[in-house]
Amino acid sequence: MLLVLLIAIAFALITVDIRGGQDSPVEGARHAAATVFGPVENGVASAVNPVGNAIGAVRDSGARHNRIAVLQKENTELKQRLGSDDRNRSRVRELDKMLAKAGAGQYGIKGAEVIAIGAAQGFSWTVTIDIGANDGITRDMTVLNGDGLVGRVTTVGPSTATVLLANDPDFTVGTRMESSDELGFATGQGDRPLSVQLLNGKAKIKKGDRLVTFGSSKDRPFVPGVPVGEVVQVDPSGGDLTRTVYVRPFVGFTKLDLVGVVVEAPRQDPRDTVLPPKSRPTPTPTVTVTVAPSPNANTEVNGEADTGNPDPNARPNANANPDPNANPDPNANGQADDQE
């Protein structure tokens, strides 16, 4: 009966409190109860919450373990996809160089990644890239990277394309010398420097001169102004109509990764603007050493003369000071002859 009575009273107070709103007659009692029991509730909560949290942690440990396992798997896959930080930084630098080349020459390029070396066509030096006809790539497009000319597109599939590299023996490109504008044709020689036949047999060429592509009709297969390489050897001129020079290509064909296919040629020939700035040779410091004569040099010479054993080939000492009071012995030479 007491329990029923207390429940009835509780419901009655709740009803009066709800109907009263902010003017509820029990508002003062509620405030007094909060003042009295608030500190007690805080103390009890401080003591009980760690236990409740521990129980909740035990209850949720299975779900948390599964979530951690999922996150670890995703993290591993992400690392495998992105590779190491050094690799990423290297690719970012390579991409920046290629975009800078394209910007300097006003080439419209489409980026690609080298996914295979060699091809079924039997070329010696080819690579396969991961873009093709679906990306707007067609045959005889120029391929470059951040260093210079890579090659030209030879075969196009829906999603891949084959690139003939500039060092392949079947590759030939028209070239123009920097500054002098001497024209020639560069041919690949595998892992050796490119062979360039200059049209002018009397052209004045020296080591360090650089070449760019001359360009083709309607910019196919080569757009103008793409850096080709640097002269490393010049054959002596023998009076022939042509002259041969050997050029080290700017591109490292054994370490290709990111390349760009030129899908839009520049409006005008960029000439030599795409070439990198020439490196200035580091000056070699020289040291000049001046040897000062010893202040005792004359003394030593005079000392040797006083020993009584003069060098028969020695010249007389101009610094000697003969004694004006000395009396030379007239018989000195005679005594010496007698002794001999």
CB 137 within 8 Å of CB 122: no
Bridge partner residues of 145 (DSSP): none
Residue with tokens 């030129």: 262
In terms of pLDDT, which residue wins out, 65 or 249? 249
Per residue, the 3-state secondary structure of 14-72, as one string, reads HHHHHHHHHHCCCHHHHHHHHHHHHHHHHHHHHHHHHHHHHHHHHHHHHHHHHHHHHHH
53 vs 169 pLDDT, higher one: 169
| Residue scoring higher pLDDT (28 or 140) | 140
Which of 151-165, 225-239, 312-326 is predicted with the least confidence, judged by mean pLDDT? 312-326
pLDDT at 157 over 80: yes
pTM of the model: 0.58
Per-residue pLDDT band at 161 (split at 50, 70, 90) = very high
User: Does residue 221 have a cis peptide bond before it, meaning omega lies within 30 degrees of 0?
Assistant: yes
What is the pLDDT at residue 26? 65
Contact (Cβ atoms closer than 8 angstroms) between residue 192 and residue 162: no
Instruction: Enumerate the β-bridge partners of residue 114.
Output: 129
CB distance 245 to 229 below 8 Å: no
For residue range 23-35, what is the model confidence (pLDDT) as tens digits?
Answer: 667 666 666 666 6
pLDDT per position as a tens digit, 79-124: 766 666 677 788 888 999 999 999 999 999 999 999 998 754 555 7
For range 320-331, the mean pLDDT: 49
| pLDDT grade for 68, boundaries at 50, 70 and 90 | confident
Select, from the ranges 40-54, 199-213, 308-322, the one with the highest average predicted confidence (pLDDT): 199-213
Q: What is the pLDDT of residue 320?
A: 46
The structural domains of the chain, ordered by start, are 97-264 (2.40.10.340)
Percent of the chain at pLDDT exceeding 90? 44
Of the pLDDT bands very low, low, confident and very high (cuts 50, 70, 90), residue 275 is: very high
- Rounded to an integer, the average pLDDT of 38-62 is 63
- Residue 315 or residue 233, greater confidence: 233
Token pair 């020296």 in the structure block, residue = 206
Length of the chain: 340
Q: CA 131, CA 260: separation in Å to the nearest integer? A: 10
Mean pLDDT across the stretch 123-142? 91
**Average pLDDT score, the chain:** 79
